[in-house]
């Protein structure tokens, strides 16, 4: 099997992640570049001392999709309709593949902030009490809670089987 050198790279994870490594090259003389971030199955993995992912691309994708939806239907649709569309179409973009990682608290808060920011835009407020009341009123589950539920369901399924 041949290696596609234009799509392949090397990434180091572990305690020696910052130490330069020798180049990896093929018999034909082509070498693989060392990178600090790579995309694998839609998830961006970052060079660090432990397995870590970058949330920038998924947040950017969520904002792109949510703004596109909000731009099309804007204020003509009710809040319930907008939130249902965001929940079904955009949350999957935000949470894609994150069950595979143990996210840090600051990463979970970062994901929650994306949703809180969207609620601020939708309800034209900057008051977090209003935002949390609206989330509760519309039964909107934050990403940190969704990921915790998915992980719990996965662990429970392992113990049952």
- Domain regions of the chain by residue span: 1-54, 55-160
Average pLDDT, the chain: 90
111-133 tens-digit pLDDT: 999 999 999 999 999 999 999 99
The pTM score is: 0.84
Rounded CA separation 23/130 (Å): 54
CA–CA distance, 107 with 120 (Å, rounded to integer): 20
Task: Please identify which residue in the block is written with the tokens 């694998």.
Answer: 40
Residue 52 DSSP code: E
Buried b / exposed e over 38-68, threshold 16 CB at 10 Å, is beeeebbbbbbeeebbbbebbbebbbebbee
For 15-22, what is the mean pLDDT?
85
**122 vs 138: CA distance, rounded Å:** 13
Tokens of 31: 């070498």
Q: Which residues contact 94 (CB under 8 A, 6 or more apart)?
A: 58, 59, 61, 62, 111, 114, 115, 143
């Amino acid at each position: 099997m041949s290696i596609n050198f234009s799509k392949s790279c090397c990434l180091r994870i572990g305690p020696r992640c910052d130490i330069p490594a020798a180049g990896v090259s093929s018999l034909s003389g082509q070498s693989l570049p060392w990178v600090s971030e790579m995309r694998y199955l839609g998830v961006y993995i970052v060079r660090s001392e432990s397995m870590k992912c970058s949330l920038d691309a998924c947040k950017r994708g969520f904002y792109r999709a949510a703004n596109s939806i909000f731009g099309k239907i804007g204020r003509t649709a009710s809040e319930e309709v907008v939130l249902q569309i965001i929940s079904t179409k955009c949350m999957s973009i935000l949470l894609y593949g994150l069950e595979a990682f143990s996210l840090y608290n600051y990463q979970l808060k970062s994901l929650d902030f994306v949703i809180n920011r969207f609620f601020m835009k939708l309800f034209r407020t900057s008051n977090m009490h209003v935002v949390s009341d609206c989330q509760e009123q519309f039964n909107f589950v934050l990403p940190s809670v969704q990921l915790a539920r998915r992980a719990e369901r996965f662990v429970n399924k392992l113990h049952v089987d």
